């Protein structure tokens, strides 16, 4: 069973159809990169998977559970609302291009905020609050250690470099142990000399078996880190394949010219 | 002349203090009422339910677009004209209740607009980050947006609150016995002193001292929140 299934997903903003029927699946432990030129719908796809946008039609299944289902033959009916199950959000994590750290919380506070709130739903919360919070702190510290941020735990986001902020954002997403971790251009807002430290963290996550979807313009990185690559153009998957297939032997003319202008010119 | 001033001073000072106490009471009651009411009005004006936001926006326009002095007069006298009875109660207590209601409504509308600016100024990505971390709308507001909004609104709020200090004097129009009223009484004649203008001048000292204290307080709050940037 695939960990994520996306079937014929469509999404329009007003009259503009941004996703025109996107289908793909992801297996546990796989790393998928999504590349493509600007405006192709990559961010929209990621936002749909994470419930930040509601798709129009199609189906999204996460770990076998249907998260979204919209019937194309009924979307035009006034009283029709697509099926949506936001509980699946627990299985997903998203790292934004602009980090979106919470400025009023320290690094540790950013990591522990959501897990602490989630813990309130536990039956043993009242009796074991201290222990639960201690557990959460411990997990946060070990994740900070793994991302090389132990010394920054008491700093506030405004005191960190962009690269450090993005690593905190990754650590924050990891706190909820998402089954699938998504990234939307995690290094695009960074100075070139700071991208390396973030990409290194992502590579290490791959080593430890995390399932990830990475929207990126870093083609060389995508090639090295991914099991699968999707090339998106105009709201459709133009081509999907292994890094070698996409980079060495693209079937589509669009893929070829994108790779040539974007990648070969840089290398 | 100095001798007369020294003779009048204790009497005037005691009276002004009583007036100032009433000014302070009106000030704090207005804050306690208008600070939370403003938040409710702000949410009303941002509601996606169009009829609600339209009504709230109209109320804000009326309240901000007309002088507080007129609002005080209408609120205090209009019910009496219509129902034939003063609904606010007798004497100073009645005047105080009416003034409080007028001030709370007026200031809540000003605060609401400041709150709205503060809330809308928080980047959308903050709520989205909270949402993907599994926080519900309530948690997003109280745990993420609120603090950033407070930091954004401290400077405009301190302006507005210092204006309130001076605006309390408008309650004089319905004869609330606040600081200005107390000062003016010595012009008309009270406790054996008449035709004295200096007590009126002297009231300014109270307003200045009080706004100085508030200014210091607000800069302390700003400093306290400087550990993070928004
Ligand atoms: N909220 C929105 N309202 C209207 N149009 C939108 C909205 N979000 C995205 N779009 C449009 O959808 C199209 C796809 O946008 P999207 O951000 O998904 O592209 P992208 O592939 O991520 O591009 P980039 O590489 O520049 O990040 C664009 O034409 C964009 O203008
Ligand atoms: Mg994008």
Interface predicted TM-score (ipTM) of this complex, two decimals = 0.93
Per-residue pLDDT for A267 more than 80? Answer: no
| Distance in angstroms (rounded) separating the CA atoms of residues B36 and B132 | 29
Tens digit of pLDDT for each residue in A115-149? 999 999 988 999 999 999 999 999 999 999 999 99
Tell me which of A12, A22, A40, A262 to substitute to probe ligand 1's pocket, judged by most ligand atoms within 8 Å of the beta carbon.
Answer: A40
Q: Does A264 have pLDDT greater than 70?
A: no
| Residue A107: per-residue pLDDT | 97
For ligand 1, whether the C-beta of A43 sits within 6 Å is yes
Predicted confidence (pLDDT) per residue in A60-104, tens digit: 999 999 999 998 888 778 888 899 998 888 899 999 999 999 999
- Residues in chain A with CB shorter than 8 Å from the CB of B126 are 100, 102
- Cβ of A52 and B129 within 8 Å? no
Q: Which ligand is nearest to the CA of A13?
A: 1
> Which residues have CB under 8 Å from A141's CB, separation 6+?
A108, A150, A153
Q: How far is B4 from chain A (nearest CA, A)?
A: 58
What are the pLDDT digits (tens) for B13-40? 999 999 999 999 999 999 999 999 999 9
Task: Give the model's pLDDT for residue A265.
Answer: 59
Q: What angle do CA A239, A245, A246 make, to 5 degrees?
A: 50
Which ligand 1 atom sits nearest the alpha carbon of residue A215?
A: 22
What domains can you pick out in chain B, each with its CATH number? 2-224 (1.10.3720.10)
Residue A13 backbone phi and psi in degrees, to 5: -110, 105
Say what the pLDDT of residue A230 is.
Answer: 96
**pTM score:** 0.87
Contacts 24+ apart (CB under 8 A), B8-11: B8/B186, B8/B193, B8/B196, B8/B199, B11/B191, B11/B192, B11/B193
Any atom of ligand 1 within 6 Å of the Cβ of A42: yes
**A4-104+179-264 belongs to which homologous superfamily?**
P-loop containing nucleotide triphosphate hydrolases (3.40.50.300)
* Protein residue with its CA nearest to atom 26 in ligand 1: A38
Mean of per-residue pLDDT scores for chain B: 93
- The domain segmentation of chain A, as residue ranges, is 4-104+179-264
């Amino acid at each position: 069973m695939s960990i994520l299934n996306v079937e014929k997903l469509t999404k329009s903003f007003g009259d503009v159809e941004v996703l025109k029927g996107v289908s793909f699946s992801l297996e546990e432990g796989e790393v998928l990169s999504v590349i493509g030129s600007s405006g192709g719908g990559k961010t929209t796809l990621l936002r749909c998977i994470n419930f930040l946008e509601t798709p129009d039609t199609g189906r999204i299944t996460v770990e076998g559970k249907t998260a979204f289902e919209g019937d194309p033959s009924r979307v035009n009916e006034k009283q029709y609302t697509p099926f949506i199950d936001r509980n699946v959000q627990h299985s997903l994590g998203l790292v934004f291009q602009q980090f979106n750290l919470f400025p009023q919380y320290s690094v540790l506070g950013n990591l522990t905020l959501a897990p602490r709130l989630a813990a309130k739903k536990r039956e043993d919360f009242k009796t074991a609050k201290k222990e639960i919070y201690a557990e959460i702190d411990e997990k946060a510290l070990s994740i900070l250690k793994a991302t090389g941020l132990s010394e920054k735990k008491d700093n506030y986001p405004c005191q960190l470099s962009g690269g450090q902020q993005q690593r905190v954002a990754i650590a924050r997403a990891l706190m909820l142990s998402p089954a699938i971790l998504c990234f939307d251009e995690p290094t695009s807002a960074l100075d070139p000399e700071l991208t390396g430290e973030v990409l290194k963290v992502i590579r290490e996550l791959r080593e430890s078996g995390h399932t990830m979807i990475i929207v990126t313009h870093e083609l060389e990185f995508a090639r090295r880190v991914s099991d699968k690559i999707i090339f998106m153009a105009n709201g459709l998957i133009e081509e999907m394949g292994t890094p070698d297939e996409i980079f060495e032997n693209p079937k589509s003319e669009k893929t070829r010219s994108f790779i040539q202008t974007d990648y070969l010119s840089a290398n | 002349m100095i001798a007369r001033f020294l003779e009048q001073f204790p009497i005037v000072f005691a009276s002004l203090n009583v007036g100032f106490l009433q000014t302070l009471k009106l000030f704090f009651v207005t804050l306690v009422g208008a600070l939370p009411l403003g938040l409710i009005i702000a949410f009303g004006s941002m509601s996606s339910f169009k009829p609600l936001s339209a009504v709230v926006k109209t109320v804000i326009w009326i309240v901000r677009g007309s002088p507080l002095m007129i609002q005080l007069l209408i609120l205090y006298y209009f019910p009496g004209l219509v129902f034939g009875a003063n609904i606010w109660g007798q004497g100073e207590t009645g005047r105080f209740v009416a003034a409080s209601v007028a001030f709370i409504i007026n200031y809540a509308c000003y605060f609401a607009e400041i709150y709205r600016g503060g809330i809308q100024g928080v980047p959308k990505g903050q709520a989205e980050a909270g949402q993907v971390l599994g926080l519900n709308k309530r948690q997003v507001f109280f745990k993420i947006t609120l603090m950033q909004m407070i930091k954004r609104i401290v400077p405009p709020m301190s302006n507005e609150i210092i204006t309130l200090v001076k605006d309390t004097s408008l309650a004089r129009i319905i004869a609330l016995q606040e600081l200005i009223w107390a000062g003016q009484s010595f012009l008309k004649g009270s406790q054996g002193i008449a035709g004295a203008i200096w007590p009126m001048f002297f009231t300014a000292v109270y307003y200045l001292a009080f706004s100085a204290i508030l200014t210091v307080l607000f800069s302390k709050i700003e400093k306290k929140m400087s550990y993070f940037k928004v």
